[in-house]
A and B are shown apart, each in its own frame.
Chain A
Amino acid sequence: MRRLRAIRVDFVGSAALSVSVSFVLTFAVPISSQEVSGKTVKPDFSSEEDANGQEERRTDLEELQIRLERAEQKLVEADTRSRQKEEELQTQIDDLVTKMEAEELEELLEQSMVEDDQDRLLQIYGFFDVNLYYYQIDDDTPANSLFPEYLSFALGRLHLYLRSQMTETLSTLAEFRYTALPHGHEESYNFELLGTEYQRENTTVLDPFTAEEYPLGGLGIERAHLTYSPRDWFNVIAGKYLTPFGIWNVDHGSPVLIPVRPPYFMNRHLVPLSQTGIQIFGRFFLNQKTFVDYAITLSNGRGSTETLYDLDANKAVGLRLRGVYEGDDFNLSTGGYLYYGDTTDIVKNITLENNRITMVTDVVENYTEFNGTLDILLEIFNLRIQAEYLRGIVRYDERPPKLYPVLNIPTINGELQSDHIKWAIYGLVAYDFLFQMWEAEMRITPFAMYEYCVFDDSKPDYITAFYRGGLNFSPAPYLSIKYESGLIQVPKFDIIDDLWLHSFQLAVSF
């Protein structure tokens, strides 16, 4: 007698990852007694029928064993297939992930090129401005000829930027300024007293291939540096960088600036506009809306070779601190910069003594300057108020001849440069009127500005005041059309009367 006690097949999961089968078979061969339906049955082998039955059971048993072996074989095969299937699935997943990542990277790269700017690529952009200007001067003004007499067009600044983010922490930025200068630069004037002649730079050359006459221009490096940025609060710049002072020098590009003309202290570089060396800078957040910026500068300082080498052993140092609060409709930023450095100029003389050539260096100019600047920018809704104040002390160890600025000729009395104080201040008020036109958001910004500059308090001739007002129209974010008119006063300089300057400017970023 036999009984199939249990057959159980478990499928774990839809992928049939696990199959188990258990057979529990109980056979009553040969047994003395077997419990069947609660009764005890004694086997009886005395009759032939029983013998036949026994044979039949043996046959059944063998058949069952064969079936069991087949079932086990099938189970092994099913298990093997299951494993193979699992491995195939895993391979497919891996392939898909790899493919997806590749597609994703490709897509990211493509999108980065066709959509907005992407950090990791070399980026080239820039700005330029085209100007139309006119100096309105009384004919009686003695130095009338100092300024262009007629309404003139001018290609002003053309700056080109190259930027690259090589790694997460390393980036480079180079800004080049292309200029038509020195072509057209007036080197000197006919001046019988000093015996100088009028000389205007002419860089025109003849192309031997085309026989074309071509006026060469110039290329200036505004800045070029490597920046290492491991943290927001700690960054290092190495190279030539813009001096981190004030507002104007940081803004510095015509599409960013509101007026057409820079303040006089920028033209005369009361503080060096750029330096070559190292700068450490960073930002500390006090809260979400308030942060403090700092910068420490170490450089060659000023000098006629400042970008290439230092003409004295003293390095210039500077410290910038700036606090910023940025609210929803109220922004306030205020800061200062201190600069301390030596400036030296030399001439080299070759002499022949005892049939031996020697080279001697003479220091012809050396001074130490200590400058401080303050700046404030206040923005309330669309109103912008900004101001900067600069003050510097200059102490000479080696005094050169005193020169007239702009003219760059020695003073008539042959004076030497004296220690002096220089200072300047300007204030700018502007208001943005935003409006929609032709489905575009446009902006009109009227502004007024006043500046006063004492370039050298020992020579009050250089004092300059400039009152101006104007209007900016920005039909698109990358375009500014500006107009300004201003009254320039050089109150202590006898040869220049008050004059008006009218300027239009088209400033474009690209």
Chain B
Amino acid sequence: MLSVLGMLIVLPSSTAHAEGPQDILIIANNSIPLKSISVGELRNIFLKKRTKWNGGLNAVPIHHPRSAKLRQEFNRIVLKMSLQEEKKYWENQKIKKGITPPPAFGKPLRAVFGLKGSVGYIYRSDYLEGVSKIILVIPSDKQLEKK
């Protein structure tokens, strides 16, 4: 308990990561009944095409602010759309179906730790053991290129 508390007190912000390309970790609140997730499923969750986890728990996608570099990477790799395209997508969804975009937090790890059903993403260097569970690792661009 002490160790988890200590880690949370010094949780780094999303911008505090080491230089250079890094893996993106998809992290989930411990309430989520999943051990792993695919990029396609993740995309459906973040675009709210799917709104529930298996069992009926609300899926709560957590974004980084639009200004964050990681948000842009995530959009490109997972959502396959630019920030502007995503913005347009949500403007349309709001008008068509009354569906609003996921919330964004400066400290997604804290949000994912605290919000039931939530799923977010961080750089590997920002990950702290025990705070949330990792359900997908998206390799950095360089690793992808090597493959």
Which parts of A242-266 form the interface with B (CB within 8 Å)?
A: 250-253, 255-256
How far is B49's CA from A287's CA once the two chains are assembled, in angstroms? 13
Task: From B57, B82, B97, B111, give the contact of A108 (CB < 8 A).
Answer: B111
Check if A495 is an interface residue, CB within 8 A of chain B.
no
Question: What 1/0 mask marks residues of chain B from 92 to 103 whose CB sits below 8 Å from any chain A CB?
Answer: 101111101111
How far is B94's CA from A252's CA once the two chains are assembled, in angstroms? 11
Task: From B9, B41, B57, give the contact of A288 (CB < 8 A).
Answer: B41
- A229 near B105 with CB under 8 A, answer no
User: Do A285 and B101 form a contact, CB below 8 Å, given A125-B94, A477-B84?
Assistant: no
Task: From B5, B51, B80, give the contact of A229 (CB < 8 A).
Answer: B51
* Most-contacted residue by chain A among B56, B58, B88, B114 (CB, 10 A): B88
Check if B133 is an interface residue, CB within 8 A of chain A.
no
Closest to A120 in B: B103
- A175 near B98 with CB under 8 A, answer yes
Closest to A103 in B: B110
- B51 near A250 with CB under 8 A, answer no
How far is B14's CA from A34's CA once the two chains are assembled, in angstroms? 75
Check if A75 is an interface residue, CB within 8 A of chain B.
no
- A477 near B104 with CB under 8 A, answer no
Which parts of B70-112 form the interface with A (CB within 8 Å)?
A: 80, 82-85, 87-88, 90-92, 94-98, 100-107, 110-111
How far is B49's CA from A159's CA once the two chains are assembled, in angstroms? 24
Check if B52 is an interface residue, CB within 8 A of chain A.
yes
How far is B56's CA from A458's CA once the two chains are assembled, in angstroms? 51
Q: Could you say which residues of chain B place their CB within 8 Å of the CB of A478?
A: 87, 91
How far is B101's CA from A209's CA once the two chains are assembled, in angstroms? 44
- Distance in angstroms from B92 CB to nearest chain A CB is 5
Q: For chain A, which range describes its interface: under 10, 10 to 19, 20 to 34, or 35 or more residues?
A: 35 or more
- B98 near A161 with CB under 8 A, answer yes
How far is B43's CA from A398's CA once the two chains are assembled, in angstroms? 53
- B102 near A100 with CB under 8 A, answer no
- B105 near A328 with CB under 8 A, answer no
How far is B5's CA from A105's CA once the two chains are assembled, in angstroms? 16
- B95 near A255 with CB under 8 A, answer yes
How far is B137's CA from A127's CA once the two chains are assembled, in angstroms? 39
Check if A8 is an interface residue, CB within 8 A of chain B.
no
Check if B136 is an interface residue, CB within 8 A of chain A.
no
User: Do A173 and B40 form a contact, CB below 8 Å, given A116-B104, A478-B91?
Assistant: no
How far is B146's CA from A10's CA once the two chains are assembled, in angstroms? 55
- B65 near A115 with CB under 8 A, answer yes
User: Do A105 and B114 form a contact, CB below 8 Å, given A119-B100, A509-B91?
Assistant: yes
- A289 near B103 with CB under 8 A, answer no
Closest to A163 in B: B98
Which parts of A126-163 form the interface with B (CB within 8 Å)?
A: 127, 159, 161, 163
Check if A80 is an interface residue, CB within 8 A of chain B.
no
Q: Could you say which residues of chain A place their CB within 8 Å of the CB of B8?
A: 100
- A255 near B91 with CB under 8 A, answer yes
- B5 near A93 with CB under 8 A, answer yes
Q: Could you say which residues of chain B place their CB within 8 Å of the CB of A123?
A: 100
- B94 near A108 with CB under 8 A, answer no
- A440 near B52 with CB under 8 A, answer no
- A115 near B105 with CB under 8 A, answer yes
Q: For chain B, which range describes its interface: under 10, 10 to 19, 20 to 34, or 35 or more residues?
A: 35 or more
Check if B13 is an interface residue, CB within 8 A of chain A.
no
- A163 near B114 with CB under 8 A, answer no
Which parts of A82-109 form the interface with B (CB within 8 Å)?
A: 93, 96-97, 100-101, 104-105, 107-108
User: Do A116 and B63 form a contact, CB below 8 Å, given A93-B1, A255-B95?
Assistant: yes
Closest to A291 in B: B49
User: Do A232 and B2 form a contact, CB below 8 Å, given A101-B114, A168-B58?
Assistant: no
Question: What 1/0 mask marks residues of chain B from 1 to 44 whose CB sits below 8 Å from any chain A CB?
Answer: 11001001100000000000000000000000000001011011
- A253 near B96 with CB under 8 A, answer yes
- Distance in angstroms from B95 CB to nearest chain A CB is 4
- A116 near B103 with CB under 8 A, answer yes
Check if B50 is an interface residue, CB within 8 A of chain A.
yes
Task: From B51, B84, B104, B105, give the contact of A441 (CB < 8 A).
Answer: B84
Which parts of A460-499 form the interface with B (CB within 8 Å)?
A: 474, 476-478
How far is B80's CA from A490's CA once the two chains are assembled, in angstroms? 45
- A256 near B5 with CB under 8 A, answer no
Q: Could you say which residues of chain B place their CB within 8 Å of the CB of A256?
A: 91-92, 95-96
Question: What 1/0 mask marks residues of chain A from 495 to 510 whose CB sits below 8 Å from any chain B CB?
Answer: 0000000000000010
Check if A230 is an interface residue, CB within 8 A of chain B.
yes
- A328 near B80 with CB under 8 A, answer yes
Q: Could you say which residues of chain B place their CB within 8 Å of the CB of A97?
A: 5
- B5 near A116 with CB under 8 A, answer no
- Given contacts A108-B105, A117-B90, A256-B95, list 19 more A-B pairs with CB under 8 A: A93-B2, A107-B107, A111-B104, A111-B105, A115-B104, A115-B105, A116-B66, A119-B100, A123-B100, A175-B98, A250-B97, A251-B92, A253-B95, A255-B91, A256-B91, A256-B92, A288-B40, A441-B84, A476-B84
Using a CB–CB distance below 8 Å, which chain B residues touch chain A?
1-2, 5, 8-9, 38, 40-41, 43-44, 49-52, 56-58, 63, 65-66, 80, 82-85, 87-88, 90-92, 94-98, 100-107, 110-111, 114-115
Among all A-B residue pairs, the 5 with the closest Cβ atoms: A288-B40, A253-B95, A441-B84, A477-B87, A173-B98
Interface CB pairs A-B, < 8 A, 13: A100-B9, A111-B104, A116-B63, A116-B65, A116-B102, A116-B103, A117-B90, A161-B95, A253-B95, A255-B95, A285-B50, A288-B41, A477-B88
Using a CB–CB distance below 8 Å, which chain A residues touch chain B?
93, 96-97, 100-101, 104-105, 107-108, 111-112, 115-119, 123, 125, 127, 159, 161, 163, 168-169, 173, 175, 229-232, 250-253, 255-256, 283, 285, 287-289, 291, 326, 328, 440-441, 443, 474, 476-478, 509
